[in-house]
Amino acid sequence: MHVRSAQVAQDEEIARLLMEQEKKEYRKNRDREKEQEKDKDRERYAQEKMAYERGRPEGDYRPSSEEVVRPRTRDEQEHQRQRHHNKPSRPPQPRGQDYENVNAGYGYSDHAPPRAPTRPEAHIRGAYYKR
């Protein structure tokens, strides 16, 4: 019986050693695959970067005026005013009439009534043509 139990213990030890060896190989293969993926990612990134750099013009890259909006300088504003000196920069505010002998309550109200349409409405025109 001792021989049999010694044999079982020896078999278990061999099985444990084999499992450890397989585990090490599995981890090694997994790490190798991860490194390959990282290398592929680095290579893909480098290719994308090269393609991006190829698309840009060499030297000092200055964006077009459509890409950049900047405020006008004072000189530019003065130049604009000189070119259009006869045009006011903003329409003047409407002034209320200031009559001496007229009560302010008699003026127009702030909201004028809506104007009548210049063309007759469609339902009126239809009625006209039916006659």
Contact 107, 97 (CB under 8 A): yes
Amino acid making up residue 30:
R
Contact 89, 81 (CB under 8 A): yes
Q: What's the pLDDT band for 30 if we cut at 50, 70, 90?
A: very high
In the three-class reduction of DSSP (H, G, I as helix; E, B as strand; rest coil), residue 101 is classed as: coil
Q: How does pLDDT run across 65-107, given as a tens digit for each residue?
A: 666 666 767 677 676 666 666 666 676 666 666 666 766 666 5
CA gyration radius, the chain: 45
Amino acid making up residue 103:
N
The model's pTM: 0.33
| Mean pLDDT on 8-13 | 96
The CA distance from 104 to 124, in Å, is 41
| Mean pLDDT on 40-62 | 81
